[in-house]
Structure 1
Amino acid sequence: MARRLIKPRRWTPPALSDSGPTGPLRVSRRLPTGGHGPEDVVFDHAGRIIAGTADGRIVRIDPATGERTVLAETGGRPLGLHARADGGVLVCDHDKGLLEVRPDGTVEVLVATPFPSNVVQGADDTIWFTSSSLRWDLDNHLGDVFEHSCTGRLLRRDPDGTVTTLLDDLKFGNGLVLAPDESYLLFAETAGYRIRRHWLSGPDAGRTEVLIENLAGFPDNMYLGTDGLLWVGIVAPRNPLLDRLLPLPGFLRVLVWNLPEAVRPKATILAWVMAFDLDGKLVHDLRTTDGSYGFVTSVAEHNGTIALGSLIEDDVAVLS
């Protein structure tokens, strides 16, 4: 599929502006998952880490002891997660769709949909979730970034099972957070270098606005910490060549995409997380290139403990 023909859409990205980190990212511990690629990490209500691995397992890890429990096996590739108060987990499974893992470990498909990415649930059991791409899969997600397909979506599943598309044309829909008062959603557009807010209630209900724009990297999964901050995993810095190609005639991207993989533009491997207040003001920008961890696809904070997940690592990292 790497040689699949891309259908480029032209887009002029904002000029790259990077004020640099506010501090170093320091990994204090690594917690083995027993597998590979914990793409998303979240905390349950007891402060334990939930992650999904490439072999389909949903695992729970005690961050203090490293004790690990397998909660379920989805039979697919888990991505975004939401920990329920009853001990169950909602899972965006790349291969299966939106899943419910019950406390007893049984798994049910709630919505069969391509490339679901992240999920949250409201107090009335309404579920919102993102989908990244209708044209590309996880293994070939860079095809979507090169193509700029804008086929990501924001969807809602009502308690009666009705599924509604709230927004489409997203630039690789990804991380998703529900406001504490459930008045709005925040969602990341990885290929748009931005985070937007979609209002659910109040005078602006139904309106969507940009909260944070012109990020210097690709935002991935997001998490609302107990510290009240929006934590964002930055999977990689923006690629200057790609930014130059995006507004130009599409055949140039086709040429670059069809170069041998070894010479195509690649993501720079580093560990990078950011945190913002809910008005979009930057609070933390933490980075490292020391090799202690890389390709951060998720970050979550709970009572001062900060955990990272990655597509390319075997372990969950805990920051000092």
Structure 2
Amino acid sequence: MCSVVSRLLLKFFIGSAIITVLIAFLPGLPPNIQLEPYTVTPSIDLAKLPRVNALDTAEVILQGQVHGTESIVAIGTGDGFYSGQENGQIIKYENGKVSVIARTGTDCAGPSEGHICGRPLGMRLDSSGNIVVADAYYGILRVNPKTGKIVPLFDYKSKIQGRAPLFADDLDISKDGTIYWSDVSTTTDYSTQVVEFLSDKPTGRLIKFDPKTKQNIVLIDGIHFANGVQLSKDEDFVLICETIRSRIFRYYLKGPKAGQQDIFMDGLPGLPDNIRSNGKGGFYIALIVNRQAFYETIAPLPIVRKVILRVRSLLLGTVSFIESFVSKNPLIEDMKQYVSKIGPIGNPPKSLIGPSRILEVDGTGQILRVLEHSKEQIKWATQMTISENSCAPLLPSCISNKC
């Protein structure tokens, strides 16, 4: 009996090995790309950092009433704010009530049709009180909070220095109205962002938009998932988070290093999302999840990453083939979303993502403190924003913290 089982197992492993080799090396299978190994700087030791349980006093608001909130901008000196949802809505929270003021896209079936709904991510207020939004599908938009009117600031489909943007993520606005914004990738959009984690040829960019000339200029190219953007207090440099490599770039706007770039911080103990001013010349950096051991393990293994991408492509083709024979079916749509995100690779279980943390750093990148929750209950924190009397870490359930 044991010998029969052993032979079956041997055949299984040999068959699996042959299939894996074919998937990896068979020409013509998509994606037909050549991947290279890369590494990520080891994490700073959290145990050696000043850690405080400042998030224990967080007050949960809007539990279950909002979905997919990513960025917030405070309204005045109170606890009100504007934010966006995964269905494309721009919402206003004030005096304990939520209202919808605009929608970047149009009515759709849900997040699976984000290219129709729109997906508002980073946002700021301009000098006229308008909300300027980075929408993953529609680009940089100006939203009038009183009328709900939305105006694209430029043609998002046009190429910028040879490549069209695919995934606007965050932005900041200087005193003269110049907008600095991040384009996550020019090869993957919001719906396929998990592919960016398996790629080794980053195409993310930090881009400068001049509202007077309507011109976009690339300041930094080759960022591996270009994310949060923040100007310094004196606007002499701008920071941009590189999520996949757990580091932050600095681009100098003034002074002897103007036009140059360097690494502001590296080896962050988590994946950085949005970055905002702490109101004291420093910054709050939202570490949305822990460093992901799986991605860092396969980073130097291009064959493994290629096999995963090809299996994804083959499965998506199979699901699309099935879909062509049936009318719109929620089960098929769910299956497509699951395969597109490569199952647990794109949607890791909570036990693996770990708690969110907020790093507070000074203007030179020195870590002042790590804001945590003692019971690790804060998940998917994307941003901390301050107003006159409060600071608010943004999570899917919108958590407001009186710091």
Same fold, judged at TM 0.5 (above) = yes
Letter in 1 for 2:260: R
Q: Displacement of 1:291 after TM fit?
A: 6.5
Greater CA drift, 53-62 or 258-267 = 258-267
**2:135 corresponding residue in structure 1:** 93
Unaligned runs of 5+ in 2: 1-28, 106-117, 157-164, 313-338
Q: TM-score, structure 2 length as denominator? A: 0.71
**1:42 corresponding residue in structure 2:** 73
Q: Displacement of 1:95 after TM fit?
A: 1.4
Q: Displacement of 1:60 after TM fit?
A: 2.4
Structure 1 Cα separation of the partners of residues 245 and 257 of structure 2: 23
Residue by residue over 1:235-281, the C-alpha shift from the partner in whole angstroms, topping out at 9 and shown as x without a partner, is 11112232222123x11222345488455483514232111111101
Q: Displacement of 1:36 after TM fit?
A: 0.7
Structure 2 Cα separation of the partners of residues 28 and 14 of structure 1: 32
Q: Which has the higher helix share?
A: 2
Q: Retained in 2: the 8 A contact 1:270–1:289?
A: no
Q: Displacement of 1:141 after TM fit?
A: 1.7
Q: Displacement of 1:13 after TM fit?
A: 1.5
Aligned pair count reads 312
Greater CA drift, 15-24 or 284-293 = 284-293
Q: 2:168 aligns with which of 116, 136, 141?
A: 116
Q: 2:399 aligns with which of 304, 317, 320?
A: 317
**2:192 corresponding residue in structure 1:** 140
Q: Displacement of 1:158 after TM fit?
A: 0.7
Residue by residue over 1:151-187, the C-alpha shift from the partner in whole angstroms, topping out at 9 and shown as x without a partner, is 1011111122111112211111110011222111011
Q: CA RMSD in A?
A: 2.5
**1:29 corresponding residue in structure 2:** 59
Q: 1:226 aligns with which of 279, 291, 296?
A: 279
Greater CA drift, 205-214 or 280-289 = 280-289
Greater CA drift, 69-78 or 290-299 = 290-299
Q: Which has the higher strand share?
A: 1
Q: Retained in 2: the 8 A contact 1:256–1:264?
A: no
**1:11 corresponding residue in structure 2:** 38
Q: Displacement of 1:289 after TM fit?
A: 7.6
SS at match of 1:294: coil
Structure 2 Cα separation of the partners of residues 46 and 88 of structure 1: 17
**2:260 corresponding residue in structure 1:** 207
- Max Rg structure: 2
Letter in 1 for 2:148: G
Q: Residues 60 and 187 from structure 1, CA distance in 2 versus in 1: closer, same or farther, beyond 3 angstroms?
A: same
Letter in 2 for 1:12: T
Letter in 1 for 2:102: A
1:78 equivalent to 2:126? Answer: no
Q: TM-score, structure 1 length as denominator? A: 0.88
Structure 2 Cα separation of the partners of residues 242 and 149 of structure 1: 15
1:164 equivalent to 2:217? Answer: yes
**2:232 corresponding residue in structure 1:** 179
SS at match of 2:228: strand
Letter in 2 for 1:110: L
SS at match of 2:275: strand
Q: Residues 264 and 123 from structure 1, CA distance in 2 versus in 1: closer, same or farther, beyond 3 angstroms?
A: closer
Q: 2:182 aligns with which of 119, 130, 133?
A: 130
Letter in 2 for 1:19: L
Q: Residues 214 and 58 from structure 1, CA distance in 2 versus in 1: closer, same or farther, beyond 3 angstroms?
A: same
Q: Displacement of 1:110 after TM fit?
A: 1.2
